[in-house]
Amino acid sequence: MADRPLSPHLGIWKWGPHMMVSILHRVTGDGMAIVGLGVLLWWLGALAGGEESYAAFYDHASAWYGIAVLIGLTWAFFNHASSGIRHFVLDLGAGYELDTNRAFSWVSMASGVILSVIFWAAILLL
């Protein structure tokens, strides 16, 4: 093996909320791209297919598993948006202090859940 410095392995880094936000940002973006696109195309196809195909879509979307998928997509959207705002603030050069970064990371993750709950409470209760 060559006598050269090696990059540090992930095992030596101390995990923190900022790392989780980064991972969730990527996962939610991919989830919205894959699952969200599938649901969108199915919905558009059901609209174009007429009353019977839309009724079939609605039956699946309003079942417990359809609502679970829609809630998951809603959480992914709000979590990704919150994380995007966090990254925008970091791109402006603010929030790099360790305590501020850690707090903003927790706020970013919590706001995705809180906004999803508020959104679905408004849909189901109104």
Residue 89 has a pLDDT of: 95
Residue 15 has a pLDDT of: 83
Q: Which domain holds residue 75?
A: 19-125
Question: Would residue 1 count as lying in a domain?
Answer: no
Q: Rounded mean pLDDT of the chain?
A: 93
Question: Would residue 4 count as lying in a domain?
Answer: no
Say what the pTM is.
0.87
Question: Would residue 113 count as lying in a domain?
Answer: yes
Residue 4 has a pLDDT of: 66
pLDDT-above-90 percentage for the chain: 87
Q: How far is CA 56 from CA 19, 67, 91, 116, in A?
A: 41, 15, 45, 26
Mean pLDDT of 40-61: 98
Mean pLDDT of 36-51: 97
Residue 14 has a pLDDT of: 78
Distance CA 109, CA 120 (A): 17
Q: What is the dihedral of CA 83, 88, 90, 91, to 10 degrees?
A: 140
Write the pLDDT tens digit of every residue in 76-88.
Answer: 999 999 999 999 9
Question: Would residue 33 count as lying in a domain?
Answer: yes
**Which residue shows structure tokens 């809603």?**
74
Distance CA 35, CA 62 (A): 17
Q: Is 60 annotated as a binding residue?
A: no
Question: Would residue 8 count as lying in a domain?
Answer: no
CATH of the domain at 58: 1.20.1300.10
Residue 1 has pLDDT above 60, yes or no: no
Residue 9 has pLDDT above 90, yes or no: no
Work out how many domains the chain is built from and give that number. 1
Question: Would residue 12 count as lying in a domain?
Answer: no
Question: Would residue 76 count as lying in a domain?
Answer: yes
Q: Name the token pair of 45.
A: 């196809």
Question: Would residue 10 count as lying in a domain?
Answer: no
